[in-house]
């Protein structure tokens, strides 16, 4: 009996499981994890290797690394990616390739020369690009790239070839040539925007594509006997005639047609390509990619935050793609292929499109995922996304509050086999997620609740009680062994956040609103001053909501940009643009200092100069206060716990310290993992790797 017959999958998804050749190698199905970084890179190679290994276990046919710097003249500190500079990097890369091979997946590596996109803050080498121009980074580094002469170009080609040979030795099956996202030198040469050269590498499209052609040919010559050579290229720079246009790119694909073994298509810069659900839907680049497959005999892969198996199938049957490229969906659920194969599509933990995963890379931290708390903890903590540690000696747990922390704790504890009781004060599950997903652009966030709600519905050992706001006496009477308090947080009304650490003076007659008021149905009218000292999504989203409600909005923030932290989710530009388009008045670098009935006093954060804004109400998007009264009361009665049969009470998630939703699902998961286990509070809670000291001392 063949594998297809044994599988329980729906027959309409069979096409996703057909093998396909990529040059000299064969992918076992159409699930293709495109390159994505993770914040770990060369600093945490075993964590990276295990993360990729888990995806191989989850059924992906092709699994790629993040971009790997090929030479110290082009590195992108402070971002932490992989390096393939010399022999010293090989053991780390071998571990990653082996980890991917363990489940019959093909291992790919994305060779990258960032060129005029890396200031070389670590190597201190002079960056190089097609022309002499300032480095194009998120941080406006005060460094320029030198214009590459012919020798520099020959060097770059040599370094790329050497890196390709190393990649083959490390065990990789696919070795990329990369020219997308504004990051790769190939793109810098291809684009009229960044290539003003007058030699054979500039001017005509053929000349601008020369480096790309040479790199493909030379990589093939060096390793093409056993390795596939994919090209990752942008299908449109999204800058109109000023950059690479879709028409131009079609000409490039026609020109080079079968030269690479696979075409991998993305669009625009990283923010365009990895756009959040707030700004782009699933399959957003379809129109830009449609028809490209017909210009080549080679297979093509494309991306689009694909989580629906039906959309995936349509990409293939409509002749748009051969492979379903996924970065974020594979992070949120590394087991998508196996779940579809097993007829378990309903168990897919769908990506919500929030880009918290991107923030790990942008901040030099470690990536995390709102939906998948085990991401990048697969090795550090031995957390598997689909299985839990066995149940410990205790029997039951009471979880108070069914927001993201409480729901994830209940799901994971239920999976461990405990008897779990969930007491929710309201009438539905999800807490803040249910409320926030009603706001403009955040509808997909409800997936945080829906995935967990469905999993809980299948667990006979988990009971949920609605309209069950518990007091301390009731908790003590229940005689349950462990209690997790996940009662969330509420937004403050006094203006305390980053700029003001004590309350802002507020006139008795002033009309103050908080995000909770709006999410709970309050309909403001007239002119609203929205004061954002939170700096993440809430201020911008509520400004949009107020405009929808017919209000006039002035957004005041002490930051120099609207929703400043969303630079890390790649949304900031889109947010500020949208608010300006909606007619929101934006006052940056100002803090609210006094609130009266119809006036708000603001001050410039630099000069201290005060001015006044007219308004009908003031919406404070500042900070939140944990709703931990129950915890405070219970912890004051610790002496009563043993008689009540209570072994532990713990407060988790926003009720402990408010933070984004990813922090809450992580807190819930961690609570569930650690229950009934020995924890050493003096040691790091995770494994880590330390630098190997040189013997040359
Ligand atoms: C956290 C993260 C890191 C990424 N790093 C890379 C990278 O190193 N190289 C690359 O070519 N693309 C990178 N990308 C872009 C993805 O490969 C992909 O093209 C994009 O996210 C759209 O696909 P998706 O909707 O399936 O996420 C990254 C995306 C994410 C979310
Ligand atoms: S962090 Fe958000 S965008 Fe990234 S994979 Fe997870 S759910 Fe998707």
In the predicted structure, residue 454 carries a pLDDT above the cut 60: yes
Q: How far apart are CA 378 and CA 45, in angstroms?
A: 12
The tokens for 109 are: 């590596």
Q: What is the Å distance from ligand 2's center to 223 Cα?
A: 35
Q: Is 7 within 8 Å of 341 (Cβ atoms)?
A: yes
- Closest residue CA from atom 7 of ligand 1: 36
**Is-cis flag, bond preceding 555, omega within 30?**
no
- Closest residue CA from atom 8 of ligand 2: 351
Q: How far apart are CA 190 and CA 193, in angstroms?
A: 9
Q: What is the Å distance from ligand 2's center to 37 Cα?
A: 13
The tokens for 304 are: 């689009």
The tokens for 389 are: 């540690």
pLDDT in tens, 317-353: 999 999 999 999 999 999 999 999 999 999 999 999 9
Instruction: Identify the active-site residue in 36, 71, 160, 181.
Output: 181
Ligand 2 neighbour 353 (Cβ under 6 A): yes
pLDDT in tens, 370-401: 999 999 999 999 999 999 999 999 999 999 99
**How many C-beta neighbours within 10 Å does residue 608 have?**
8
Residue 545 vs residues 86, 258, 446, 521, 660: alpha-carbon distances, Å: 53, 49, 18, 12, 20
Residue 289 vs residues 208, 250, 324: alpha-carbon distances, Å: 21, 9, 13
Q: Among 598, 472, 477, which residue's Cα sits nearest to residue 528?
A: 598
Select the more confidently predicted residue: 175 or 1: 175
Q: How far apart are CA 507 and CA 494, in angstroms?
A: 11
**How many C-beta neighbours within 10 Å does residue 477 have?**
11
H or E segment to which residue 230 belongs: strand 230-234
In the predicted structure, residue 3 carries a pLDDT above the cut 80: no
Instruction: Calculate the average pLDDT of the chain.
Output: 97
In the predicted structure, residue 416 carries a pLDDT above the cut 70: yes
For residue 270, which atom of ligand 1 is closest to its CA?
A: 15
pTM over 0.75: yes
For residue 371, which atom of ligand 2 is closest to its CA?
A: 7
All residues at 6 or more sequence positions from 266 whose CB lies less than 8 Å from its CB, including other chains:
34, 180, 181, 232, 233, 234, 235, 273, 285, 302, 303
The pLDDT assigned to 1 comes to: 43
Q: Is 376 within 8 Å of 47 (Cβ atoms)?
A: yes
Mutate to test the pocket of ligand 1, among 32, 33, 35, 187 (most ligand atoms within 8 A of CB): 35
Ligand 2 neighbour 336 (Cβ under 6 A): no
pLDDT in tens, 611-643: 999 999 999 999 999 999 999 999 999 999 999
- Closest residue CA from atom 14 of ligand 1: 36
H or E segment to which residue 400 belongs: strand 396-400
The pLDDT assigned to 6 comes to: 64
Mutate to test the pocket of ligand 2, among 303, 305, 351, 570 (most ligand atoms within 8 A of CB): 351
Q: What is the Å distance from ligand 2's center to 47 Cα?
A: 18
The pLDDT assigned to 2 comes to: 47
Mean pLDDT of 109-124: 96
All residues at 6 or more sequence positions from 111 whose CB lies less than 8 Å from its CB, including other chains:
67, 68, 70, 84, 160, 163, 164, 167, 175, 176, 177, 178
Q: How far apart are CA 441 and CA 455, in angstroms?
A: 25
The tokens for 254 are: 């026609």
The pLDDT assigned to 139 comes to: 85
In the predicted structure, residue 7 carries a pLDDT above the cut 90: no
Q: How far apart are CA 530 and CA 552, in angstroms?
A: 10
Residue 134 vs residues 115, 121, 128: alpha-carbon distances, Å: 11, 14, 10
Q: What is the Å distance from ligand 2's center to 332 Cα?
A: 6
Pairing of strands 624-626, 489-491: antiparallel
Q: Which ligand is nearest to the CA of 327?
A: 1
Per-residue HEC secondary structure of 563-625 comes to CHHHHHHCCHHHHHHHHHHCCCEEECCEEEEEECCCEEEEEECCCCCEEEEECCEEEEECCEE
Q: How far apart are CA 249 and CA 314, in angstroms?
A: 24
pLDDT in tens, 206-247: 999 999 999 999 999 999 999 999 999 999 999 999 999 999
For residue 327, which atom of ligand 2 is closest to its CA?
A: 5
178 is catalytic: yes
- Closest residue CA from atom 25 of ligand 1: 305
Helices first, then strands: H and E counts in the chain:
23, 29
Ligand 1 neighbour 447 (Cβ under 6 A): no
Q: Among 369, 352, 544, 533, which residue's Cα sits nearest to residue 451?
A: 352
H or E segment to which residue 464 belongs: strand 462-465
Q: How far apart are CA 651 and CA 204, in angstroms?
A: 64
Phi, psi of 595 (to 5 degrees): -125, 125
Q: How far apart are CA 637 and CA 647, in angstroms?
A: 13
Q: Provide the terminal-to-terminal Cα distance of the chain, rounded to the nearest Å.
A: 62
């Amino acid at each position: 009996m063949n594998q297809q017959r044994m599988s329980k999958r729906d027959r309409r998804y069979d096409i996703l499981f057909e093998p396909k050749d990529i040059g000299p190698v064969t992918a076992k199905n159409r699930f293709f994890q495109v390159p994505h970084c993770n914040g770990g890179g060369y600093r945490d190679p075993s964590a990276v290797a295990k993360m990729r290994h888990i995806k191989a276990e989850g059924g992906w046919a092709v699994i790629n690394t993040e971009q790997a710097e090929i030479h110290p003249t082009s590195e992108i500190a402070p971002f932490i990616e992989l390096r393939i500079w010399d022999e010293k990097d090989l053991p780390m890369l071998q571990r990653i390739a082996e980890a991917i091979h363990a489940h019959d997946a093909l291992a790919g590596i994305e060779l990258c020369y960032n060129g005029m996109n890396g200031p070389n803050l670590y190597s201190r080498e002079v960056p190089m690009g097609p022309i002499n121009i300032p480095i194009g980074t998120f941080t406006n580094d005060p460094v320029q790239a030198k214009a590459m002469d012919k020798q520099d170009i020959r060097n770059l080609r040599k370094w790329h070839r050497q890196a390709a040979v190393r990649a083959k030795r490390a065990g990789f099956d696919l070795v990329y040539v990369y020219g997308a996202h504004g990051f790769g030198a190939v793109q810098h040469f291809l684009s009229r925007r960044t290539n003003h050269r007058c030699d054979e590498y500039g001017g005509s499209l053929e000349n601008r594509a020369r480096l790309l052609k040479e790199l493909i040919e030379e990589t093939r010559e060096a390793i093409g006997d056993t390795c596939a050579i994919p090209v990752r290229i942008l299908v449109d720079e999204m800058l109109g005639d000023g950059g690479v246009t879709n028409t131009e790119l079609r000409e490039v694909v026609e020109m080079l047609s079968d030269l690479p073994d696979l075409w991998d298509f993305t669009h625009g810069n990283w923010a365009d390509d990895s756009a959040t659900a707030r700004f782009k839907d699933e399959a957003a680049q379809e129109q830009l990619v449609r028809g490209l497959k017909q210009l080549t005999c080679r297979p093509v892969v494309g991306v689009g935050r694909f989580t629906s198996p039906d959309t995936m199938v349509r990409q293939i049957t409509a002749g748009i793609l051969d492979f379903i490229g996924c970065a974020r969906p594979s992070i949120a659920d590394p087991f998508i292929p196996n779940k579809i194969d097993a007829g378990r599509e309903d168990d897919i933990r769908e990506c919500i499109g929030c880009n918290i995963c991107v923030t790990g890379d942008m901040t030099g931290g470690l990536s995390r995922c709102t939906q998948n708390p085990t991401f990048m903890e697969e090795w550090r903590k031995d957390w598997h996304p689909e299985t839990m540690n066995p149940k410990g000696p205790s029997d039951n747990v009471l979880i108070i509050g069914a927001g993201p922390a409480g729901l994830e704790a209940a799901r994971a504890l239920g999976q461990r086999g405990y008897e779990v009781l969930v007491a929710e004060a309201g009438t539905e599950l999800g807490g803040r997620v249910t409320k926030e997903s009603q706001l403009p652009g955040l509808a997909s966030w409800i997936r945080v609740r829906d995935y967990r709600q469905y999993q809980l519905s299948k667990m006979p050992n988990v009971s949920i009680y609605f309209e069950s706001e518990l007091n301390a006496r009731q908790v003590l009477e229940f005689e349950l062994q462990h209690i997790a308090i996940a009662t969330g947080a509420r937004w403050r009304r006094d203006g305390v956040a980053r700029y003001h650490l004590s309350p802002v003076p507020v006139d008795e007659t002033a009309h103050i609103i908080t995000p909770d008021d709006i999410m709970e149905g309050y309909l403001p009218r007239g002119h609203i001053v929205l004061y954002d000292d939170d700096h993440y999504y809430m201020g911008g989203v509520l400004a949009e909501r107020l405009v929808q409600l017919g209000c006039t909005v002035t957004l005041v923030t002490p930051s120099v940009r609207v929703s400043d932290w969303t630079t890390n989710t790649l949304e900031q530009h889109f947010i500020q643009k949208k608010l300006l388009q909606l007619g929101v008045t934006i006052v940056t670098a100002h803090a609210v200092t006094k609130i009266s009935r119809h006036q708000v006093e603001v001050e410039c954060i630099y000069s201290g100069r005060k001015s006044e804004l007219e308004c009908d109400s003031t919406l404070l998007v500042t900070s939140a206060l944990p709703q931990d009264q129950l915890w405070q009361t219970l912890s004051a009665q610790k002496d009563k716990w043993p008689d009540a049969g209570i072994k532990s009470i713990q407060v988790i998630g926003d009720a402990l310290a408010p933070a984004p939703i990813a922090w809450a699902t992580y807190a819930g998961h961690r609570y569930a993992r650690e229950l009934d286990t020995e924890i050493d509070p003096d040691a790091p809670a995770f494994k880590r790797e330390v630098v190997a000291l040189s013997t040359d001392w």
